[in-house]
A and B are shown apart, each in its own frame.
Chain A
Amino acid sequence: MGLKRGALTVVLGTLALAAVPPLSAAFGQPFYLDLFTRILIFAIAALSLDLILGYGGMVSFGHAAYLGIGAYSVGILSHYGITDGPLHFAVAVAASTLAALAIGAVSLRTSGVYFIMITLAFSQMIYFLGVSLNVYGGDDGMNIPAHSEFGSVLDLDNASVLYYVVLAILLLFFFAGRRLVASRFGMVIRGVKSNGRRMHAIGFPTFRYRLAAFVISGAMCGVAGALLANLTLFVSPSIMHWTRSGEVMMMVILGGMGSLFGPVLGSVAYLVLEQLLSGFTSHWQAILGPILVLVVLFAKRGIFGIFAGAEEAGRG
Chain B
Amino acid sequence: MQPLLVLEQGLNGVQFGVMLFLMAAGLTLVFGIMNLINLAHGSLYMIGAYVCAYVFQASGSFLLGIGSALAAAILVGIVIEVVVFRALYTREHLDQVLATFGLILFFDEMVRIIWGPTALYASIPGFLSGQVEILPNAPFPSYRLAIIVVGLLLALLLYLLVAKTRLGMLIRAGAANRVIVGALGVNVTLLYTFVFALGAALAAFSGLMAGPIFTVESGMGENVLILAFVVIVIGGIGSIRGAFVASLLVGIVDTMGRAFLRPLLATLMAPAAADNAGPALASMLIYILMATVLFFRPQGLFPPRVR
Contacts and interface: CB of A to CB of B under 8 A. Distances in A.
Contacts of A3: none
A286 B106 contact: yes
How big is the A interface, by class?
35 or more
Interface residues of B, number: 45
B84 interface: yes
Nearest to A247: B101
Contact of A129 (B88, B105, B107, B280): B280
A106 B291 contact: yes
A252 to B, nearest CB: 9
A296 B106 contact: no
B84 A293 contact: yes
Which 6 A-B residue pairs are closest in the complex by CB-CB distance?
A: A289-B106, A292-B102, A289-B105, A125-B287, A286-B109, A128-B283
Contacts of A106: 291, 294-295
Interface string A272-315: 00000000000111101111110011001000000000000000
Contact of B287 (A114, A122, A132): A122
Interface string B284-295: 100110110011
B276 A296 contact: no
Contacts of A171: none
A228 B226 CA distance: 26
Interface in A49-85: 53, 59, 61
Interface in A104-136: 106, 109-110, 112-114, 116-118, 120-122, 124-125, 128-129, 131-135
A133 B284 CA distance: 12
A246 interface: yes
Contacts of A122: 287, 291
A188 B150 CA distance: 52
A246 B222 CA distance: 12
Report which residue of A128, A242, A243, A290 has the largest number of chain B beta carbons within 10 angstroms of its beta carbon. A128
A243 B222 CA distance: 9
Contact of A296 (B102, B104, B107): B102
Contacts of A292: 98-99, 101-102, 105
Report which residue of B84, B98, B299 has the largest number of chain A beta carbons within 10 angstroms of its beta carbon. B98
B222 A242 contact: yes
A95 interface: no
Interface string B28-46: 0001000001000000000
B103 A289 contact: yes
Interface string B220-261: 001000100110110001000000000000000000000000
Interface in B200-237: 222, 226, 229-230, 232-233, 237
Contacts of A113: 31, 37, 93, 237
B287 A121 contact: yes
A133 B282 CA distance: 12
B99 A120 contact: no
A59 B37 CA distance: 13
